[in-house]
A and B are shown apart, each in its own frame.
Chain A
Amino acid sequence: MNGRRAFLGAAAALGGVAVAPGLLLFEPARAEGVSSEVRWGMLVDTTRCVEGCTACVSACNKENGLSGGTRPTDSQWIRKIELREKTIGRTLSLPVMCQHCAEPPCVDVCPTGASFKRADGIVLVDRHICIGCRYCMMACPYKARSFVHQPLTDQKPDVPRGQGCVESCTLCVQRVDRGAQPACVEACKAEGREALLFGDLNDPQSAIARRMREAGAKQIRADLQLDTGVRYQGI
């Protein structure tokens, strides 16, 4: 334990010297893995969402190294959907990303187990064993997944992604694991809207749990009973 702490200390110092200030290269150590005591979730208050605002999308693209393109083959981990109710004409705007279901169909259908749910509820793709069959993309009810159609360079070191594998919103797992918030949540806050709230669904005292108890929240395609980690208010 001691030798390891010393190494970590030295490495942190080296990291600080080698890298320009302001960049957090080195993640704090976490010896044990994550557990199911925590269940990460997100609450979207669609009444605060504004048509035409794409702060969450831009932040996601920047954080995860996505191109931001909108060709049919470009990856989009989060998108704003503009809705218009057919009979009455009510409009609303909201972001949709991987819903991090507790019963994810994408995890069920993946032949190699590359699509998996982490103990703390985040649904991820292990790109080491993803064979690129795209069955999970067929299975996802939310069209959350994208496939990388071209060779990639210039990936973010924190966010490995590559040609031939499937990917989707990771709830910014690289941030969450060092105690920070997903990029979209921070960006929405920076815009002054605070439509996105991230937190631990298992903690009854967390802000997200309290807000859901006060105002209620719904799942998209609730009839599928997938118990999503992302819930919406105002739909």
Chain B
Amino acid sequence: MRSLAALALLALLVLPAGVTAGVDKPVLAPAKGEKCIAPPEVMRREHPDMLKHQRDLTVHQGVRGAKVNLEQCVECHASKQSGSVAATKQDFCESCHAYAGVKIDCFECHASRGEKK
């Protein structure tokens, strides 16, 4: 009985690895331009707060052209293939977010592509 229980517990521990084995690691294609507005480690952790803080300043106070600018993010990070940051799983925003399992809300409203040429 005890060995059976141990086996079951082991299976439970191993199972998650099996489940996640199929998820692709994020594809972070190099963006246009020299560098981002902050180092990658900072951006990775802080970008939600940066965007949330700036959106209130821009929408409610009319502050434009700040460092944090979603249109600029899209311009630099848009994929060469799809032209978007969130259209496919290989696109910049979507690939990380799919891996982390966090749904992106931004592009329900914001354009995920640059201005059409």
Contact = CB atoms under 8 A, between A and B. Distances in A.
Are both chains from one complex? yes
A126 B108 CA distance: 14
A27 B75 CA distance: 14
A25 B75 contact: yes
Chain B interface residue count: which class?
A: 20 to 34
B85 to A, nearest CB: 11
B62 A120 contact: yes
Contacts of A30: 62-65
Q: Which of B57, B60, B62, B66 has the most CB of A within 10 A?
A: B62
Interface in A97-128: 116, 118-120, 124, 126-128
Contact of A157 (B56, B62, B74, B108): B74
Interface string B50-86: 0000011101111111110001101100000000000
A157 B115 contact: yes
B61 A119 contact: yes
A151 B108 contact: yes
Contacts of B110: 155, 157, 160, 162
Interface of A: 4, 7-8, 10-11, 14-15, 18-20, 23, 25-34, 116, 118-120, 124, 126-128, 151-152, 154-158, 160-165, 173, 177-178
